[in-house]
Amino acid sequence: MVCENPRRQYLIVFDSFARSLIAKAEDGDKPYRVDRVRRVGDGYVIEGMAASGGPAFRALIGGQRLIQLFVSGKVIQTDYCR
């Protein structure tokens, strides 16, 4: 899925078998650490840590598509995807 934030557009690649999530952007690929994957309806909720020890993330892939970043349990950024 393709996501956007104020700085750039990037591609999210999720492999449910390998339990891996990678953000692909112009400045290179960034693997995210996947801690939890839940199947919800026709999609997935993926949770873990963003690249380079960054904030926690939650990705929704399916009917609703977005990535949220969290610090201390609070949403600091939401990137909408298509």
Q: Tens of pLDDT along 49-62? A: 998 888 999 999 99
Is the pTM of the predicted complex or chain greater than 0.75?
A: yes
Residues 6+ apart with CB under 8 A from 73: none
| 16 pLDDT tier (thresholds 50, 70, 90) | confident
What is the domain partition of the chain in residue ranges? 2-81
In the chain, the percentage of residues whose pLDDT exceeds 90 is 83
Mean pLDDT of 7-27: 93
pLDDT attached to residue 23: 95
**Rounded mean pLDDT of the chain?**
94
Rounded distance, CA 25 to CA 17, Å? Answer: 23
